[in-house]
Amino acid sequence: MAGSNRALLSESVALAKAASSGEKPCIFLSHVSEDKEAVKAIGDYIMERGDIDIYLDINDQQLQTAVRNNDAVAITGFIEKGVRASTHVMCLYSETTVRSWWVPYELGYGKRSNAEVSSLKLKGDIELPAYLSVAEKLLGTESLNKYLEKVVGTAKKSLGYHALNEHLIAHTAAQHPLDKYLDWKI
């Protein structure tokens, strides 16, 4: 069974899923638009291999309409809705992330909402932005796998989540599906 992207669900369904304590965890994927290809691949990996729900804002049609209309009030409201529908907030950071105004807001709102906050470094030699130093640091695929195992393990204990997390892909000589976007190291 795979996770789902709660941004594709209607608002009432997504919020109902978030509110019910027996549902699987959901990770809000915070990112800059320049990293859209990487965030899609990582989101797919989390859903398919980790059996964890995600909230990927590029699939939230109401939010995208607000972005096209440059409506900051609506954008803020939709971001907050997405974070509230999530148990975790993960920032995918790259060289362009430090120029974002929205990523720090998403992380701050996540902390304020008691979501677990983490950061995932995309491929390359990137310095961690200061505002991410308070989050759990994931430096590549191996640490992402360990983090996803922890998320599922915590959910199993506290939420009665029954999905097995045995489908995460170990790094071998064969190419890992995230090698294009993430380093392997912890």
Q: Domains in the chain, please, with CATH?
A: 6-159 (3.40.50.11530)
DSSP notation for the chain: ----BGGGS-HHHHHHHHH-TTSPPEEEEE--GGGHHHHHHHHHHHHHHH--EEE-GGG-HHHHHHHHTT-HHHHHHHHHHHHHT-SEEEEEE-TTGGG-SHHHHHHHHHHHTT-EEEEEEPSS--PPPGGGTTSEEE-SHHHHHHHHHHHHHHHHHHH--------PPPP-SSPPTTTTT--S--
What is the pLDDT confidence band of residue 17, given thresholds at 50, 70 and 90?
low
Please report, as a single letter, which amino acid is at residue 135.
A
pTM comes to 0.83
Other C-beta atoms within 10 Å of 105: how many? 16
pLDDT at 138: 94
More confident residue, 157 or 6: 6
Q: What percent of the chain has pLDDT over 90?
A: 53
Q: What percent of the chain has pLDDT over 70?
A: 81
Instruction: Give the strand order in the sheet containing 88-93.
Output: 53-55, 26-30, 88-93, 116-121, 136-138
